Structure formats: structure tokens, C-alpha cells
Amino acid sequence: MLRAELHRKLGDFSLDLALEAAPGETLALMGESGSGKTATLRLLAGLLDPDRGRIALGEEIYFDAATGARVPANRRSIGYVPQDYALFPHLDVYENVAFGLRAQSLRGPDVRDRADAALTRFGLDSFARRRPSELSGGQQQRVALARALVMEPRLLLLDEPLSALDARTRGEVLGELGEVLGALTCITVYVTHSLREAEAIGNRILLLQGGRIPTHPSGDNPGSESSAPSSGPQPAPRS
């Protein structure tokens, strides 16, 4: 279970929101540019610290302003796919995917087995020795996803993963991505500004506006597909 309460001043606006998500759930966080979507992911990943608040993933407390607890980004079980993928330009596809495994000092054969399995899973075997610059946008997106998922994270953060693709590719990749995310047992937070993507990918949609999740008088978030409260713990069944 992910339970996060985030407060952070960002330039001229402040981010104040609470999130909850259960394992296997995909939470679509939807909002316009500058609404605080990327900052939310960076706070969850540990790349940015909240001014106040608390982040807990299962039993682990990643951040708690009250007690001063703070787990650095490299000790969190989090996979992060940024908007532009940020594939290491000097490493080939295989080394990009194996990067995190090697960072954990896993044994050579374990690194090979897991990296090979991830490449096969995402149909990247034949691109293993290519540099990121030699790949199409869709292929780069799959490498970024494979690199994050090979680490078996408990929380997967995706920041507008389709925005770097052209319209035609976006349609194709959306279906593939939905299938991949649907099969995951980890919690996924999917940031997008597209309602179509949010509906196709998310079990639950949260609308982020100016750093907040507004609620209707009824208490519902206007973006939520289900009638669950905006930060409600109960996930809607995957459609």
C-alpha cells in the first residue's frame, strides 16, 4: 500500500496532496502542464524532499517530516521512467537495462539472466547492442520501462511516457503499455495530461490542478472514474 501526504513549495505555487494506492493498482494522475505532476513523482522517488508530509510504501517509511526519517532515492524500491526516458547515451541497450542490477553488485550470471529476460519481455533482444540514439521513440520507451522493471520495484512511476512519441506510435504503444502495466503486481502512478491515456491505463484517475487535487462538494475528485474519494484507499477493479 502506498500512502503519501506531500507538501512542498515549488516556486510560486505549492503542492499539497494526499495519495493512496494498493498493490496492482494503476493510479492515473492527470493535469495540465505546471500542475505539479512531475514534482509529485520526484517527491515519491526521493529526488525531491517534501517540506512536510509522509511517504510510506507498505511497512517502509520513506519520508516522515515529523520524525525526520528519510530514505534516499537509491534505497527506495521505486522504478522511475521520466518523460524523455533519460537513457544513458554512452551505454548500449543491454547496459542500460543491466545498469541497476550491476549497481547492486549482483553476480554476473544473475545480471545476465535478469537483463536478458527483461530484453526478451520487451522485444528488445535484437537491439541489445545498439545505442539509444539508434532507436526509435517507441523502442526507447520500452528500454526505459525494461530498465525500471528489471529492478522489480514495488512502486513504478511513469511520467508522460507517451508524450515523446508521434500520434501514430502513441496509439500503438498505448495498447502495449496497458497490457504490460495490467500484468504488474506493483503499484503504478501514471502521470499524463491526456484523458484518453488516463482512461486507458488507470484504474483510478486523479485530477491535479495547481498542486492540489480538488474535490467536488460530494467529496469526489472530478477526475475520478470511480466514486472513490480522491485519495481513497480502495482501488477500482481494473477494466
- Contact footprint for another protein (CB under 8 A): 42, 45-47, 72-76, 78-80, 82, 84, 86-90, 99-100, 102-104, 131-133, 135-138, 140, 147-148, 151, 164-166, 169
Question: In the bound complex, what is the minimum distance in angstroms from residue 237's beta carbon to another protein?
Answer: 30
Question: In the bound complex, what is the minimum distance in angstroms from residue 223's beta carbon to another protein?
Answer: 26
Distance from C-alpha of 96 to C-alpha of 114, rounded to nearest angstrom: 13
Question: In the bound complex, what is the minimum distance in angstroms from residue 93's beta carbon to another protein?
Answer: 11
Residue 167 or residue 183: which is nearer to another protein going by CB?
167
| Exposed/middle/buried for residue 231 (C-beta within 10 Å: 0-12, 13-18, 19+) | middle
Residue 158 or residue 207: which is nearer to another protein going by CB?
158
Residue 38 or residue 230: which is nearer to another protein going by CB?
38
Distance from C-alpha of 10 to C-alpha of 208, rounded to nearest angstrom: 15
235 and 25 in contact (C-beta within 8 Å)? yes
Amino acid making up residue 189: V
Residue 126 or residue 133: which is nearer to another protein going by CB?
133
Cell numbers linked to 33: 502542464
Amino acid making up residue 184: L
Question: In the bound complex, what is the minimum distance in angstroms from residue 171's beta carbon to another protein?
Answer: 12
- Give the helix/strand (H/E) hosting 181: helix 167-182
Question: In the bound complex, what is the minimum distance in angstroms from residue 143's beta carbon to another protein?
Answer: 11
* DSSP-derived pairing of the beta strands 60-64 and 69-70: antiparallel
Residue 190 or residue 207: which is nearer to another protein going by CB?
190
Amino acid making up residue 52: R
